[in-house]
A and B are shown apart, each in its own frame.
Chain A
Amino acid sequence: MKKLVTALLALAFLGLASAQTLVYGTSGFPSSLDAVDSQDGNSLVVSSQITERLVDFEPGGTDLVPGLATEWSANEDATVWNFVLREGVTFHDGTPFDAEAVKFNIDRWNDPNHPYSGRDQGKTFVPWGWVFGGPIGEGNLIQEVSVVNDHEVQITLTKPAPFLPALFAAIYFQFSSPTAIMENGVAYGTPSVGAVGTGPFKFVEWVEGERIVLERNDDYWGGPAQVEQVVFRGIPEPTARLAELQAGTIDIAVLLSADDLATIENDPNLKAVIPETELNVGYIAMHQATEPLDNPLVRQAIAHAIDRDAIIEAFYGGLGVPAQGFIPSTMFGQPEPWPYDYDPERARELLAEAGYPDGFSVDFWYMPVSRPYYPAPQPIAETIASYLAEVGIEANLQTEDWTTYLADYQTGKFPMYMLGWNADYADPDNFLMTFFGPTAPNDLGWDDAEVRDMLQQARQVADPDVRAALYSEVGNAVAEAVPSIPFAHNRTLNAVRANIDGWIASPLGYSSVSLHSVSKAE
């Protein structure tokens, strides 16, 4: 009996484990810890504690700060860049972090024939293509990386890129130990190997689908972290994540459902953590291949018909803001505020002027999955449809499987559709080029060479003021033609136990910056 009591008492404290262990509840399981071969937040939040980037964002913000590189500079036309590397840094396996290691990593991502690229065995480096155009010979931005000396590399580009440091700050481009990659080949990044980097935490164990354990790197160049151990647990359901946090079995729960804000605020054991700004945008696109959406008056009418504020008020739990343009409001290059207020009367006038006094009928596709910028796509779509119905436009709601959706929106199959974007790096280019660059004719049926020229130009000038002016001009052109309606920016809701300090949510949608400074009180 006494034994049983002891056992039960021990059990009561099981969930607490050691106070020096930080338990982090993510929304799912990583796909790989080889950062540039993964593309989901659940992977990147783990790997970014182990492996680091050349350039980082200021915690919680979007300004660039030194990472593994301490300084960088470019020639006049921004085609040749020099990065000075942090000295005295070693990877967890003892390999020195130097110019050779940087070259090894970048070449591995950029050169399809690199002996350790592993492409023939299934490594894909998908984000490298997103951000840098593709590997050598297929739209590559990076031509060559050369070693200047132990602590300096020179990167030559195929075309000017004044914002190159921001590209290297994108969360994917984390540097791994060349020794670990050469030894493990295709298994690098999988549960059996994990990752080997320079970061504040070292990889210990990954039990597939259950947990990943990291331990403190006592030799970290920025000084040892506050907690000894970090355990990541994948908990797919937001309700279950909150329950775990309430039960005290995890310390940090990310990406909670906005409805739970009140629950968190009323629980003295919990603290809500909400980023100040969020680099995402949801929008309603109108494809101009379909009549009558090819008529700008009709698109303006639709923009006037929808009460964005009311919808955001209803579905975003107080965390969303109506978008004034396609880039978040904290960013440079802002256009004039969005000119289409909710005005059903004006919408009807415009429709009549366009020759549709009795309205028309259109297929409206909504996303089958929720994303921060559209937390509840179906109800939001239904509400939009009811606003449209008020001015005589009959929107038939449609949806399909997400992968198919993403393939189909570029084919013109959807006359009207919902979609959005989470930024990879904090620069207007990442938003405006994505929406209105070379793919705009496919995505929106909008073929505006002038806008595309301005975007290309903005990519290549170094003067920030000139860039800002170009981006705001693009924004104004978009507002005038309305190929798409910017809908909302949303901030994600995360929460921690009350005894957790120093945790900062990242505005980049990956929910966490480094856990280096996070502490856990007894």
Chain B
Amino acid sequence: MTAYLLRRVLGLVPVLIGVTLLIFFLTRVIPGDPATAMLGQRAAPNLVQRLRTDLGLDRPLFVNLQKAQETGDWRDFFDSQYFSFMAGLLRFDLGRSIYTLIPITESLRHRFAATFELTLAAMVFAVAIGVPAGVFAATRRGTLADTAMMLLALSGVSFPVFWLAIIMIYVFSVTLGWLPPSGRLSVGLSLEPVTGIYVIDALLRGQGRAALDAARHLVMPALALGSIPLAIVVRMTRSAMLDVLGQDYVRTARSKGLSERRVVRVHALRNALLPVVTVIGLSFGSLLSGALLTETVFSWPGIGRWVYDAIAARDYPVIQGGVLFVAVMFAIVNLLVDMTYALIDPRIQYA
């Protein structure tokens, strides 16, 4: 297992270098650059020129052959935008946003914690409701309850997140006044961050009121974001359960006289969970990067919105830092999923 882990982690290195190359060049393939984005309509040629120099955009992208030839110093060959980015990366320095001049690592800490909190809440919601619902539907296959459950799951996938979010805001905030419409914490409350995950931080600091307030802010975004994985988890659990319930060993377990409850929970569910865990892992990864709509509607200061705005502004360091970070997280989640397999299914061996 240790050797396997080590191999997997080392295997990530070339993958991540590939990712940096991809991000770096794809970002620059988009027409326009930060200078044209910042100057907008008033991009007089002399202003563009000065800004490009100020921002270091006039340096070569990949290698600086010309400078190396001029100076005769081979190190100048690497005096380029890509290698500066990589050199920073080695020091865990992702640079500053071109627009705000805020260091990327500082923003990342804040933004990622927000997205992570939201994604985690959404996944907990999806799994806590989705797995039991899927089991419920599978064990009552063909009944009205099953059909109803599937219809509900289908609508979960079909409702646009944006629409669902706006409806929730109108119903629960504007009309009923139960939940705050957006943001993470009410005005008037403040919280010294520890992990950046507000609900946890407030509990750690013993601020019950802030914890409750943060949790209340989390409810609607988590429901909106969780609606799609919920539907997927329900359907996945149901079909995996149906598969397993038809297997010989389940029949054996039943014929041994075990209670139906024990058959379902221990013998069937454990085996059915394997594909479900994969789906959960993949959804988690994609939610981390794809929470954009939810973050926008609920003014949630997460990574999705941040990177989205950066793309519109051609804020290269933010795009690079943000996407790279999400890629790393995605890789880690995948690794965790693979390891979870072993815990669920002892037949899976790592060598």
Contacts and interface: CB of A to CB of B under 8 A. Distances in A.
Most B Cβ at <10 Å: residue of A7, A21, A121, A190: A190
Contacts of A210: 183-185, 301
Interface string B105-124: 01100110010000000000
A404 B32 contact: yes
B183 A233 contact: yes
A419 interface: yes
Contacts of B301: 29, 208-210
Interface stretch (A240-248, A342-350, A355-363, A452-460): A240-248
A407 B36 contact: yes
Contacts of B213: 11, 14
B349 interface: no
B277 interface: no
B134 interface: no
A187 B180 contact: no
A309 B31 CA distance: 36
Interface string A384-413: 000000000000000001111011101000
A138 B296 CA distance: 40
A7 B44 contact: no
Most A Cβ at <10 Å: residue of B180, B188, B313: B188
Contacts of A520: none
A428 interface: no
Contacts of B298: 240
B314 A236 contact: no
**Chain B, interface size: which category?**
35 or more
A435 to B, nearest CB: 10
Interface string A177-199: 00000000011011110000000
Contacts of B302: 209
A135 interface: yes
Nearest to A250: B187
A10 interface: yes
Interface string B161-204: 00000100110011001001111111111100000000000000
Given A23-B187, A237-B296, A403-B314, A11 B212 contact: yes
Interface stretch (A89-97, A124-132, A504-512): A124-132
Interface in A117-162: 119-124, 126, 129-130, 134-135, 138-139
Interface stretch (B71-79, B94-102, B237-245): B94-102
Contacts of A517: none
Contact of B99 (A7, A11, A32, A406): A32
B209 A129 contact: no
Given A233-B299, A240-B169, A7 B208 contact: yes
Contact of B306 (A15, A32, A209, A408): A209
Interface stretch (B8-16, B46-54, B225-233, B329-337): B46-54
A122 B96 contact: yes
A10 B38 contact: no
Contacts of A236: 296, 299, 305
Nearest to B49: A138
**Chain A, interface size: which category?**
35 or more
B47 A18 contact: no
B187 A407 contact: no
Given A14-B188, A31-B99, A130 B42 contact: yes
B43 interface: yes
Most B Cβ at <10 Å: residue of A231, A234, A244, A439: A244
Contact of A208 (B40, B107, B181): B107
Interface in B42-97: 42-44, 46-47, 50-51, 54-55, 96
A70 interface: no
A234 B181 contact: no
A124 B51 contact: yes
Interface string A424-446: 00000000001000010000000
Tell me the dominant secondary structure on chain B's binding face. helix
Contacts of A31: 99-100
B37 A234 contact: no
A330 interface: no
A39 B136 CA distance: 56
B108 to A, nearest CB: 11
A421 interface: yes
A124 B209 contact: no
A243 B111 contact: no
A138 B50 contact: yes
A186 B174 contact: no
Given A135-B50, A406-B40, A243 B173 contact: yes
Contact of A209 (B110, B169, B216): B110
Contacts of A207: 110
A211 interface: yes
Nearest to B99: A31
A126 B35 CA distance: 9
Contacts of B296: 236-237
A430 to B, nearest CB: 11
A240 B182 contact: yes
A73 interface: no
Given A189-B101, A208-B102, A243-B181, A14 B43 contact: no
A402 B177 contact: no
Given A209-B306, A434-B42, A403 B36 contact: yes
A186 B101 contact: yes
Contacts of B306: 209
A5 interface: no
B261 to A, nearest CB: 34
A181 B333 CA distance: 43
A130 B296 CA distance: 31
Contacts of B209: 7, 10-11, 14
A187 B170 CA distance: 40
A262 interface: no
B187 A249 contact: yes
Contact of B37 (A187, A231, A403): A403
Contacts of A237: 296-297, 299
B30 interface: yes
A247 B181 contact: yes
A126 B173 contact: no
Contact of A134 (B38, B47, B96, B190): B47
A1 interface: no
Interface in A79-119: 112, 119
A408 B37 CA distance: 12
Contacts of B110: 207-209
Given A7-B208, A209-B114, A187 B101 contact: yes
Contacts of B309: 28
Given A11-B209, A129-B44, A237-B296, 9 more contacts: A122-B54, A134-B46, A190-B102, A207-B110, A209-B302, A239-B297, A249-B186, A403-B36, A406-B40
14 contacts: A7-B208, A11-B209, A14-B186, A123-B101, A233-B299, A236-B305, A240-B182, A244-B181, A247-B173, A403-B36, A403-B312, A403-B314, A404-B32, A406-B32
A-B pairs with lowest CB-CB distance, top 3 = A209-B301, A17-B188, A129-B47
Interface of A: 7, 10-11, 14-15, 17-18, 21, 23, 28-29, 31-32, 37, 39, 112, 119-124, 126, 129-130, 134-135, 138-139, 186-187, 189-192, 205, 207-211, 231, 233-237, 239-240, 243-244, 246-247, 249, 401-404, 406-408, 410, 419, 421, 434, 439
Interface of B: 30-32, 36-44, 46-47, 50-51, 54-55, 96, 98-102, 106-107, 110-111, 114, 166, 169-170, 173-174, 177, 180-190, 208-209, 212-213, 216, 296-299, 301-302, 305-306, 309, 312-314
